[in-house]
Structure 1
Amino acid sequence: MNLPNLENGIDPEDFEILVAQARKASDMLKALSHEVRLLILCLLSEGEKTVSELEDILTMPQAAVSQQLARLRNDGLVASRRDGRMIYYSLVGGEVHTIISSLYDLFCKEVRPAEG
């Protein structure tokens, strides 16, 4: 990638940081571009869920849900914790939570009434 001219007021170090941040955003958007992964993230924005809970909501086989959760975990968007035989998943990081919360408010809120 060509570095900008310093006469434009952009420091080359700042530009490299900007490029790295753009790459990070692009990687996150690639992970979000899959319909099932995005749906899982929206469901996890409601709170921690087990694989079984996600299977029931998504009406998908365990293998398919686990495959998408593995991709999300590899991308650093979800974390898992084990409690006995149960594995719980939750969102990781402020960036993903902010993006998913906004998408949830725009597209899911009307369909998924608040519990309680």
Structure 2
Amino acid sequence: MNKQALEYKAEDAARFLKMLASGPRLLLMCHMFDGECSVGDLAEKTGMRMPTVSQQLSLLRAQGLVETRREGTTIYYRLVSTAAQEVMGVLYKHFCAEDADQAATGLLAMAGTD
């Protein structure tokens, strides 16, 4: 890959990681990892206010990470970005699974030994 193309890809990756570098957005994507959710479902599951959920989902949608489906007056959101699904799979395994506390502690310990 040439230098210019690699620089473009690096900027693209940085924008992607910046979008993920938000606790509220990660929390929303974690809940959507298992399937689509409505704004109301996400607000209830996360404890966030509906306007906050809507704002964060709008950012995720603008970046192409989620898509919507309307059923009557309810809009459902789902993860559609393959990259986001793969990253969320790793994050879910290490931070959301039942033994996530042990996995996260292990990761933090390894990070501290560099």
- TM-score, normalised via structure 1 length: 0.80
Shift of 1:21: 1.2
Using CA pairs below 8 Å that are at least 6 residues apart, which structure has the higher relative contact order? 1
Matches of 2:62 and 2:51, distance apart in 1: 16
Aligned pairs (5 A) from 1:98-113: 98-110=86-98
Q: How many residue pairs get matched?
A: 100
Identical amino acids, percent of aligned pairs: 38
Structure 1 residue ranges (4+ consecutive) displaced by more than 6 angstroms after TM superposition = none
Aligned pairs (5 A) from 1:1-116: 14-110=2-98
Query: 1:46-105 deviations in whole A, cap 9, x for unaligned?
Result: 111111110110112111110111111111111111111110001122111111111111
From the CA coordinates, give the structure whose radius of gyration is larger. 1
Number of the residue aligned with 1:3? none
Matches of 1:21 and 1:41, distance apart in 2: 23
**Backbone CA RMSD of aligned residues:** 1.6
Shift of 1:18: 1.2
Given residue 27 of structure 2, which amino acid in structure 1 is its aligned partner?
Answer: L
